[in-house]
Amino acid sequence: MSAGTVRLGLIGAGPWGRNFINTVAATVGVALTRLASRNPASTDLVGPDCRISVDWRDVAKATDIDGVIIATPPALHGEMTAAALDAGLAVLVEKPLTLDPAQAQALLEQARRRAGVVLVDHIHLFSPAYRKLKTLAAGLGPVRAIRGEAGGWGPFRPDTTVLWDWGPHDLSMCLDLMGDAPETITARRTERRETDGGTGETIELDLDFPGAARADIALSNLRDGKRRRLEVRFDSETLVYDDRAAEKLTRVDGDGGGERVPVEPGMPLSIAVAEFAAAIRKGSKDLESLRLGVDVVAVLAAADNHLENAS
């Protein structure tokens, strides 16, 4: 396409959808011109140049936009992404890509046939601090171990478990860093209880990668206070990504001494939208983000299966 304004459609105007609305509005060279939402208050969220539809298909199959952002419950991601690909649209879809590995794989095959681009919004992969960690990791030798902790109080979603809600973030970082799928996956539920908001759980995952590297991830929606921390250990030092800290990236030497690592400024969602627009402008056919999304779904499904068999 030309170097003009990238016209985007958005499906879903929930909390994350509203974040996309604000982010697109603040991104130079990008305009939100279509929105699919059943909320009557949506007219207050967008400008007069944005056409609102009740039916999501009006946006997924629109011919007057360049790409579509999907910010709906995960069970809808697969059908909506497939429809947009069929219409020749680029897609930025929220995590997880789907709730079913076969459906995720089918989207990858469809994108290959259609020469389409699909970016999965594993939001921490767009964080400048995580990207700096990955750059440093390339010069530190093989990863020996990863320890992830993530969670908070809630959300208690009726349609998405804590594994599928919190897990895609840590798994996307682990698989991105390792560049490979784990050889074995185990999962255990260490806590489950009802709260006023819904069912809460604590899940622990163990992933064994080729080369004897291991990732241990703890996920919970029963924590007091949000947490998103990833420790990546090498032979000589450990890099710590802490999304909730003022200093988001530190390096710890073998003696336990810590050092702040400066990172470039930037909000991950702003970077995601800008890179989506850039991919549309240059007609990118890169499916690396989609492939990773497929792999993340496969690991989540394997962990889910392990939990079911253990119960």
Whether residue 162 contacts residue 220, with contact meaning beta carbons closer than 8 Å, is answered with yes
Does residue 188 fall inside a structural domain? yes
Residues of the chain with pLDDT under 70: 1-3, 311
pTM for the model = 0.96
Is residue 1, in this structure, part of any structural domain at all? Answer: no
Based on the fold, state whether residues 91 and 143 are members of the same structural domain. Answer: no
What would the pLDDT profile of 55-74 be if each residue is shown by its tens digit?
Answer: 999 999 999 999 999 999 99
Residues 115 and 132 in one domain: no
CATH of the domain at 224: 3.30.360.10
- How many domains does one find in the chain? 2
First to last CA, the chain: 52
Same domain (yes/no): 19, 160: no
The pLDDT mean for the chain works out to: 96
Q: Are residues 130 and 251 in the same domain?
A: yes
279-305 pLDDT, tens per residue?
Answer: 999 999 999 999 999 999 999 999 999
Position 3 scores a pLDDT of: 66
Q: What is the pLDDT of residue 256?
A: 80
Q: What is the pLDDT of residue 311?
A: 66
Give tens-digit pLDDT for 63-102.
Answer: 999 999 999 999 999 999 999 999 999 999 999 999 999 9
The range of the structural domain enclosing residue 10 comes to: 6-123+268-285
